[in-house]
Every structure is written in structure tokens, then in C-alpha cells.
Amino acid sequence: MITLRFEAGTLELEGVPGGFELPASCRFDKRSNSHRAPACAYAEVVTALHRAGVAYQDLARRYAELSASLVLHREPRPFQTEALAEFRRAHGRGVVVLPTGAGKSHLAVLAIQDRRRSTLVVVPTLDLVRQWYDLLRTSFGCEVGIVGGGSHELRELTVTTYDSAYLHMQHFGARFGLVVFDECHHLPSETYQLAAELCLAPFRLGLSATPERPDGRDAVLDRLIGPVVYRKDIVELSGEYLADYETVRLDVDLTPAERAEYAEQRKLYTDFLRAQGIRMSRGSGWSEFVQRAARSSAGRRAFQAYLRQRELSLAATGKLLALERLLDQHQNEQVLIFTQDNATAYAVSRRFLIPVITHQTKVKERSEILERFSRRQYGAIATSKVLNEGVDVPDASVAVVISGSGSVREHVQRLGRILRRSGDKRAILYELVSAGTSEHFTSERRREHVAYR
Amino acid sequence: MLSVEHVRAKREGNQLLLQELPPSKRARARELALELSELLAASVGDDRDTVEARLSGLELRPSERRIALGLAKLLLDEAEFGSHSPVEPVELRRALFERAATARRAATLETPFSREAVIGEVAPAFALEPDALEEALYADLRGAERLLRAPALDPELWVTRYEQGQVQAVLLRAVKVVVDVQCAAPEAYRSLFQKLKFRKLMYHSERLSGGGYRLTIDGPYSLFEAVTKYGLELSLLLPALEACDVFELRAEVLWGAHRTPLSFVHRHVRRSRAGEPSAVRDEIATLCKDFEALGSRWHPKISEDLLDLPGSGVCVPDLRFEHPDDPQPIFFELLGFWSREAVFRRVEWAERGLGKRIVFGVSSKLRVSESVLDADTHAALYVFKGKPSARALERKLDALRAP
């Protein structure tokens, strides 16, 4: 009889009779004198054994039927019902693309109830761990496990981060029948994708507002999770299911001193690029610059100049003055302030006396800040990137992007933070851009999305 | 621990070579280590951001950067930092930001929001002056931690650690390691295989004609894809390899930003230190002496063999008994007071077939009967009270040799 075992993120098959044709994912492993497949091939292997009528002992599967049931029933929106039907039709494997604020998490709750298997939810940040923990606990009325941020408690419903999933999936990858990859555009990175490979779960749900990646690796989602089974864009749901919104770009002038310094530093940097024949428009331009800059003192000066001119455009004095005006203007609204780097986020916090959330903020304090923000004890939060994704701040109606990258996904996600519908809220996103600097091009790049047209 | 960016390496074809420090560069490295150590010693009491900025401000030639960064990393790892704040920063922030939020909501054109006024209101509640409040506000951030103790001023030590640390750093990018290893005593092998198991690494072993073994080491998933997931485990295996007498390691690494596949070779010969305890356990040395005194026809030798059972484990015998009338040796592994689980694991191996005859010596304190092993397994249990007896073991060996 064939015995299936889960071994450190792989499926070990012992006692395979000679002549029996295993799926292509299985290979003979002379290290263990057995056959082996990535754990994600479990469903395929079991199906093949069933079809061939071969007897097997399954010691691999360690997940169980879910003992908890939904205790909090919320009427699904029509598009959530449609998405769940498509997920079912795809045999419980697929990616659902919905804009931020449309209720992807609720869809996942419906999918968990539908599949009724112990479930692991994988999320990008600790803030999302906290948020999913609350959601699952309330929805199913049971204790929920957490792996990450100093906790390591496994339960039939468990939430973890991509980092922890990559590190620990080889240990607990057999304990879940359904895995939900929230913000699943993170999964295709070289390291994180192993979290999906080393997991045995036959049912897989991916959630994202922006699954496409600039490196094109989103193509592997099909293999790691399943195909895109359902999709709706922001403009299709805006007004009815999402808050109405507007986006405003504010050009901010550098002070004369900043302008002079910006020009000087930028010249130093661009002169170096020209002298070295480096073209930043080429894909390899940036790494070429970094490498050559490290080889000479002129290069290191050019690199410092690059950093300084960037700092001047991202955190110009004028932006902080503009922010002051916006905070006054929206003094009775809940405001999120986004920056590109931690230093600016802390500078904003110190100057305007508002709390900040960065990767350095401990989980307990993050939770407290978000809770006080939702109770309106705080009127604003500054953050660099950790609130970009997923974190639910339903009361926020104003976002101010002081600085950011050229990433369309980041910009759409930031907009998404303020779109959750709440009463007759009208959301507004301000983007502060230093006039006459390279930041203009960055801004143009990140606005290339239907949400900004 | 060093990381990849601290490694001084060059490519030659598809080889990754560590650049040895010639005497002049080594002397310069010691100077750098001394300068960095002195900077740290002079920075006690300063915050981490300041200390790190000070270390990175050292005037360096491009060729010195990696070694200086590596030395700084090793020194900072060894230094002791701690936070220092007269008040609890989280509580201070909570009070300050809540007061500020209320003040901003209440602000009017006539009485606009005033940062100074808010700080002035909150500072007395924490018995702080406004300047001290500003300093305490984020005193719990990593960058604000104070240097409490600087590491030792011993440049030679730091340069040596840097040189040794580079091999481990290269292995962080390894997808597979092939190592030819030789140990005169079984203990080092045993420790190596325990580490392999502990680190959940997998291996394939082959005996080398010139003595020793070739181990091909990677992780379970490596069968399907060359991944650096096991790089840290491979890197942490290095001390166990260094405890062996001789090894040559060939690693396949994915190097640089483009993760170029390269080969890396590292050779190591263990230098025995004066006063180092013998690698052979006392009980085994005594047993050998007792056998010689017995005048037995069995001749014990310290075993250098591994009895590998892929998928189950590896048995590392202590002794190899040779008999003039028998071309095949019989092995002996002394389990002594190890766990019952270890005994039953060996019973299972013997039942699966270790391919060699072997006696397992087990203390009677483990309460295992000799009869748990069938005669047809080519293995026997020898249960002893106190210490193993040469005479009793000889009888076991004779019984196993009997047709």
C-alpha cells in the first residue's frame, strides 16, 4: 500500500508499486528512497490514486473539517455571491479581483464557510493579521490562531504573514485544507511563492485589487492558487458599493534655497550618469548606477547627491506647509498621511503631533492607534508604507500622499484606504508634488490607472 | 553574522572565489578594526543612529568598503545597546497626540492650533521640560537606543572573525552543498548528522575510496527547484563541519543581484589545540584496552564507517571489530544511557537492514530486553550493567559470527 506523508513542505510517497504511473509532479528521491512531490501537488496526487483505484494510507493530511460555523451572518452583496459561485465552479481554487473596500474579506469568510475546512489566512502585514484575527473571531465565534509578530499559536482558523508563512509552512503546511492569500500579488516573489508550494491545502483563494505585477510574475498565480475566477474594477462599484471620491494633485513650489540646492545636487547626479553612459530608462539603469557609484569617491558623491535631491523633492518645506493647511481645512475629518520613507513620516508626526505607524511600531501600539483613530480620539495618522494595503480604516475620508513611489499598485491601494463606504461619505485624495522636479514623472507613472481617469 | 554584501569575492568563470587578505591588506584591516573599535568605545552613551553614522563616516578607499562594513557589522552585533527614557514613550505619545487632536478640532481662525501650547500643556504631567519631552517622544525606536557597552579592542580577533564569517555568508546563498568529509573519531560524524537532522536538511552519502564520505546536502524541496531557502541552515551547519578533521565543501550558490549560479569551494583542516580532550569517548578507550588485555582474536579499531539507511537515518558505529578468520568486520555502537527511543530506532534500522553486522551496547537502566532484536537481523543488543564488559561483548561478537 502507498503511504503519503507530509515531510517538511513536501509530500513523501512510500511503497509505490513498480509500473504505477504517478503524476508528473512526483519524482524518485534517492536521499529518502521514496517518491516525493511538492506539498501543493497533494490534491493532484490523491485524485490520481483514486482514479487508478490504488489503495493508500494518507498520513499527510492533518487538516480537519471546520468545527466552527458562522455566527455572524451578513447579507452578501450581489457581486460577492457571484464571486463565490465562480470560486465553487473552479473547484475551490482561484483568484478574486475586487477593489479595496468592496468586501474581499467578507468573501473569504463566505468561502471558509462554504469549504468547511481548517483555514490559514496569509497577509502581508501585522496590521492585517490583527484585522483578520478580529474578523474571523467575530464571524465564527471561536478562538483564532496567529503566527507572526512574536506569536506562534496554531488553531483551525489561523492568520499569518507572508514572511512567517515562508519560514514556517514546511512545519504546518499540512494542517489546513483551505488557504487564503490576501493581497495575493505578493505571493509570486521568489521567496514567498514557496509558501504556496510547501502547503498541502487543496483549496486556495487569492484576493487582490491589483494582481498584476510589473515583473510579470503574476502569471504564476494560476499555478500557485488558481486562475482569476472573478473580477470587478473600482469604477464599476464606485458610488453604489464604494464611497464616491475625487483625487486632487497639488503642485508645491520648492523654496528658493531648496530649488538652488536641488539643481546643484541633481546636476552632480546627472553629470555622473552622463559620464558613465548610464541610462536610467534602461531596465538595468538603477543597478548599474548603484554598482558604479560604489567604485569611486565621485560615484559615492553622486549617490549622496541623488539621495539629497530626492529628499528635497519628497519632503519639501512647501509640502509640510500644504499639509498644515489641509489638516486645518479637514480638522473635523479623519485623515491618513502617506509618505515614501520613515524619516518623513516621523518628521510629520513630530511637527504636527500626530501618531505614526511604521514597521517599527509594535503591534500593540499599532492596534491602539487604529482603535483611537476609529473612536476619533486621534484625527490623523501618518504612515510610510505599512498602511498601504488592506488595513481597514473605515472612518478615514481624506488621504494626503506627501510622497510615494511610481507604483500604480501602491497609489491605487492608498486610494483604497479611504473608499470604504460609510454613510454618505465623500472621499478625497490629495497628492502633493514638488513642482519642477523629477517627482512629476513619478506622479504621472503612478496615476496610470482607471481610478485616476 | 556577516551577510552577503560584506563578502570580498570575485568571479573567475563560473567560480566564486573569496579574496584572501594579503599581508598589507590584512594590516590595513587590523587598522580599520582598531579605528572602528575605538570609535565605538568613544561612543558609549550615544544613540544607535549617531553611532552608526559615525562608523559609516570613516574615510575609506573603495577597495576597503566591504571589509569595513563587515567589521562594523561584527562589532555592532557584539556591542550592547539599551533604551534610556525617563518616561514610557508610548504613554507620552498617547497623551500628547490625544491632546493635540482635541486642540486641532477646537482650533479657530482666531485661536489656531499651536504645537508649542500642546507640548507646554502635556510636558508637566510627565515632569519634563519641553525639550526633554521632544527627546523622549521616540526614545524607544531602535535608532534612539543608547550604546551601553562597546566590544573588546582586539583588532586581530575581529579580522579573524571577518575572514571566517565570509564562508558562512556565502553559504546563505547556497542551493546545494557537496562536502567530502573525514573524521578520525565517530563523535564528530555523530554530531554532524545530528545537526543535519536538527536543521531538517537532507543528504545523500557515498563512501570515498581514499577514506571519508561525500555528503550531498540540500533540503527536501531542493529535489524540484534550486532554492536558497535552506541557505541559512547550510550556513549554520558550518561549525559542525569545522569540528570534523578535514573537509572540502563545494557549494552551488546563486550570487549577486541577478542570482547567477556559481560554484564555491572551501577547504578546511581542523587544527587540534593543546589540552583538547580526546575525540574518543572514555568508555570506548577503556573497552579497547580491556579487549587487548583479554587476548581476544577480535581486534577493535576506532570506526570511520557510516551505516546509512536512506530515509531512516544513519548509524555511526564507535568500533570496528576485525577477526582473522572473517573477511567482514562487525561494528559496535555504544548507546550507553541514551534514550529508549534511540534504542528502538536502531532496532528498526536493523530490521530494515543496515547491510553490516552490528552490536548495539545499551545500559540496563534503559530497561530494554536483548530479545527485541531477532537473530536474522544480523544485529544484536548487548545490555550491560554499569560499564560494558569486553568478555560479554566478545561472546556477542562470536554469536553474530556463527553461521
pLDDT digits (tens, 9 = 90+) for A389-407: 666 676 788 989 888 776 7
Distance, in Å, from the CA atom of B113 to the CA atom of B115, rounded to the nearest integer, reads 7
B311 to A34: CB separation less than 8 angstroms, yes or no: yes
Residue A181 lies in a domain: yes
Residue B255 lies in a domain: yes
Helix (H, G, I), strand (E, B) or coil at B107: coil
Q: How many CB pairs under 8 A join A and B?
A: 93
pLDDT digits (tens, 9 = 90+) for A5-58: 999 999 999 999 888 889 999 999 999 889 999 999 999 999 999 999 999 999
What confidence score (pLDDT) does residue B31 get?
93
Residue A67 lies in a domain: no
Residue B178 lies in a domain: yes
Residue B316 lies in a domain: yes
Q: Is A375 exposed, middle or buried (0-12, 13-18, 19+ CB in 10 A)?
A: exposed
Query: Is residue B298 domain-shared with residue B378, that is, in the same domain?
Result: yes
Cβ–Cβ contact A332 with B under 8 A = yes
Query: Is residue B381 domain-shared with residue B290, that is, in the same domain?
Result: yes
B310 to A378: CB separation less than 8 angstroms, yes or no: no
Query: Is residue B292 domain-shared with residue B389, that is, in the same domain?
Result: yes
Q: How far is B185 from chain A (nearest CA, A)?
A: 24
Distance, in Å, from the CA atom of A308 to the CA atom of A324, rounded to the nearest integer, reads 23
B310 to A30: CB separation less than 8 angstroms, yes or no: yes
Q: Using a CB-CB distance cutoff of 8 angstroms, which residues of chain A are in contact with residue B119?
A: 353
Of A385, A262, A240, the C-alpha closest to A315 is A262
Of B177, B158, B87, the C-alpha closest to B123 is B87
Query: Is residue B148 domain-shared with residue B14, that is, in the same domain?
Result: yes
Strands (E), B191-259: 202-207, 213-218, 246-255
What confidence score (pLDDT) does residue A66 get?
94
Residue A237 lies in a domain: no
Q: What is the mean pLDDT of residues B122-142?
A: 93
Query: Is residue B239 domain-shared with residue B345, that is, in the same domain?
Result: no
Distance, in Å, from the CA atom of A111 to the CA atom of B76, rounded to the nearest integer, reads 48
Distance, in Å, from the CA atom of B167 to the CA atom of B162, rounded to the nearest integer, reads 9
Q: How far is B233 from chain A (nearest CA, A)?
A: 12
Query: Is residue B378 domain-shared with residue B393, that is, in the same domain?
Result: yes
Q: How far is A329 from chain B (nearest CA, A)?
A: 10
pLDDT digits (tens, 9 = 90+) for A258-297: 889 989 999 999 999 999 888 877 767 777 787 788 777 7
pLDDT digits (tens, 9 = 90+) for A311-328: 888 777 888 999 999 999
What confidence score (pLDDT) does residue A147 get?
93
pLDDT digits (tens, 9 = 90+) for A222-264: 999 999 999 988 777 766 667 777 888 888 888 888 889 989 9
Residue A70 lies in a domain: no
pLDDT digits (tens, 9 = 90+) for B217-232: 999 999 999 999 999 9
Query: Is residue A108 domain-shared with residue A202, that is, in the same domain?
Result: yes
Residue A227 lies in a domain: yes
Residue A64 lies in a domain: no
C-alpha cell at A272: 555622473
Query: Is residue B363 domain-shared with residue B319, that is, in the same domain?
Result: yes
pLDDT digits (tens, 9 = 90+) for A147-163: 988 788 999 999 999 99
Residue B79 lies in a domain: yes
CA distances to A75, A302, B13 from A98, in Å: 18, 43, 49
Mean pLDDT of chain B: 90
Query: Is residue B233 domain-shared with residue B308, that is, in the same domain?
Result: no
Mutation target vs A (from B224, B254, B259, B349; most A CBs, 10 A cutoff)? B224
B221 to A198: CB separation less than 8 angstroms, yes or no: yes
What confidence score (pLDDT) does residue A450 get?
65
Q: How many domains does chain B have?
A: 4
Cβ atoms of B183 and B275 closer than 8 Å: no
Is the predicted pLDDT of residue B249 greater than 70, yes or no?
yes
A378 to B101: CB separation less than 8 angstroms, yes or no: yes
Q: What is the dihedral of CA B312, B317, B323, B329, to 10 degrees?
A: 30
A353: closest chain B residue by CA: B97
Q: What are the residue ranges of helices labelled H in A152-248?
A: 162-172, 193-197, 221-224, 234-237
Query: Is residue B288 domain-shared with residue B378, that is, in the same domain?
Result: yes
Cβ atoms of A346 and A358 closer than 8 Å: yes
CA distances to B177, B231, B318, B346 from B201, in Å: 11, 10, 24, 21
Query: Is residue B386 domain-shared with residue B316, that is, in the same domain?
Result: yes
B112 to A328: CB separation less than 8 angstroms, yes or no: yes
Domain that holds residue A49: 2-58
| Interfacial A residues in 114-143 facing B (CB < 8 Å) | none
Q: How far is A443 from chain B (nearest CA, A)?
A: 27
Query: Is residue A334 domain-shared with residue A441, that is, in the same domain?
Result: yes
What lies within 8 Å, CB to CB, of B273 at 6+ separation is none
What confidence score (pLDDT) does residue A299 get?
84
B217: closest chain A residue by CA: A31
Residue B122 lies in a domain: yes
Query: Is residue A332 domain-shared with residue A437, that is, in the same domain?
Result: yes
Cβ atoms of A60 and A42 closer than 8 Å: yes
pLDDT digits (tens, 9 = 90+) for A190-203: 899 999 999 999 99
pLDDT digits (tens, 9 = 90+) for B340-356: 888 898 888 888 888 88
| Interfacial A residues in 355-374 facing B (CB < 8 Å) | 355, 360, 365, 368, 372
B142, B219, B310 member nearest A360 (Cβ): B142
CA distances to A120, A276, A334, A371, A378 from A374, in Å: 27, 52, 9, 5, 8
Residue B309 lies in a domain: yes
Query: Is residue A224 domain-shared with residue A273, that is, in the same domain?
Result: no
Overall residue count recorded for chain A in this entry? 453
What confidence score (pLDDT) does residue B374 get?
79
Distance, in Å, from the CA atom of B148 to the CA atom of B81, rounded to the nearest integer, reads 5
Q: What is the mean pLDDT of residues B259-265?
A: 95
Query: Is residue B19 domain-shared with residue B153, that is, in the same domain?
Result: yes
Residue A238 lies in a domain: no
A360 to B220: CB separation less than 8 angstroms, yes or no: no
A32, A170, A368 member nearest B311 (Cβ): A32
Residue B394 lies in a domain: yes
Q: How far is A453 from chain B (nearest CA, A)?
A: 33
- Residue with cell string 572565489: B17
Query: Is residue A249 domain-shared with residue A394, that is, in the same domain?
Result: yes
Write phi, then psi, for B396 (nearest 5 degrees).
-65, -40
CA A350 to chain centre: 28
B230: closest chain A residue by CA: A167
Q: What is the mean pLDDT of residues A182-190?
A: 93
What confidence score (pLDDT) does residue B273 get?
64
Residue B274 lies in a domain: no
Q: How far apart are the first and last CA of chain A?
A: 62
Q: CATH number, domain at B341?
A: 3.40.1350
pLDDT digits (tens, 9 = 90+) for A350-359: 999 999 998 8
Q: Using a CB-CB distance cutoff of 8 angstroms, which residues of chain B are in contact with residue A372?
A: 94, 98
Query: Is residue A222 domain-shared with residue A108, that is, in the same domain?
Result: yes
Query: Is residue A226 domain-shared with residue A89, that is, in the same domain?
Result: yes
Q: Using a CB-CB distance cutoff of 8 angstroms, which residues of chain B are in contact with residue A38?
A: 221, 224
Cβ–Cβ contact A253 with B under 8 A = no
Residue B234 is given by DSSP the state H
Cβ atoms of B269 and B245 closer than 8 Å: yes
Query: Is residue B249 domain-shared with residue B183, that is, in the same domain?
Result: yes
Of A154, A6, A270, the C-alpha closest to B221 is A6
What lies within 8 Å, CB to CB, of B9 at 6+ separation is B16, B17, B18, B19, B166, B170, B255
Cβ–Cβ contact A378 with B under 8 A = yes
A10 to B310: CB separation less than 8 angstroms, yes or no: no
Query: B166: how many CB neighbours lie within 10 A of its CB?
Result: 22
Long-range pairs, A307-313, Cβ under 8 A, ≥24: A308/A261, A308/A265, A309/A262, A309/A265, A309/A266, A309/A269, A309/A437, A309/A438, A312/A254, A312/A258, A312/A261, A312/A262, A312/A265, A312/A434, A312/A437, A313/A254, A313/A262, A313/A403, A313/A434, A313/A437, A313/A438, A313/A439
Q: How many domains does chain A have?
A: 4
CA distances to B32, B74, B146, B161 from B153, in Å: 12, 13, 19, 14
Q: Using a CB-CB distance cutoff of 8 angstroms, which residues of chain A are in contact with residue B115?
A: 351-353
C-alpha cell at A222: 494560476
Identify the domain boundary among B209, B234, B269. B269
Cβ–Cβ contact B246 with A under 8 A = no
Q: Residue type for A196, please? A: A
Residues forming a β-bridge with B363: B384
Q: How far is A355 from chain B (nearest CA, A)?
A: 6
Write phi, then psi, for A339 (nearest 5 degrees).
-125, 165
Q: Using a CB-CB distance cutoff of 8 angstroms, which residues of chain A are in contact with residue B221?
A: 8-10, 38, 170, 194, 197-198
Of B187, B323, B262, the C-alpha closest to B11 is B262
Is the predicted pLDDT of residue A388 greater than 70, yes or no?
no
Please state whether beta strands B379-384 and B357-363 pair in parallel, antiparallel, or not at all (unpaired). parallel
Q: CATH number, domain at A38?
A: 3.40.1170.30
Q: How far is A141 from chain B (nearest CA, A)?
A: 31
State percent of chain B over pLDDT 90: 59
Identify the domain boundary among B246, B269, B292. B269
Residue A68 lies in a domain: no
Q: Using a CB-CB distance cutoff of 8 angstroms, which residues of chain A are in contact with residue B112?
A: 328
Residues forming a β-bridge with A238: A242
Domain that holds residue B308: 282-401
Q: Using a CB-CB distance cutoff of 8 angstroms, which residues of chain A are in contact with residue B257?
A: 287
Is the predicted pLDDT of residue B191 greater than 70, yes or no?
yes
What confidence score (pLDDT) does residue B305 get?
86
Cβ–Cβ contact A44 with B under 8 A = no
pLDDT digits (tens, 9 = 90+) for B370-395: 888 877 778 999 999 988 999 999 99
Q: CATH number, domain at A134?
A: 3.40.50.300
Query: Is residue A148 domain-shared with residue A13, that is, in the same domain?
Result: no
Query: Is residue A328 domain-shared with residue A282, that is, in the same domain?
Result: no
B112: closest chain A residue by CA: A328
Query: Is residue A275 domain-shared with residue A380, that is, in the same domain?
Result: no
| Interfacial B residues in 90-149 facing A (CB < 8 Å) | 90, 93-94, 96-98, 100-101, 104-105, 107, 112-113, 115, 118-119, 134, 137-138, 141-142
Query: Is residue A249 domain-shared with residue A263, that is, in the same domain?
Result: no
Of A192, A234, A243, A195, the C-alpha closest to A213 is A192
Query: Is residue A183 domain-shared with residue A227, that is, in the same domain?
Result: yes
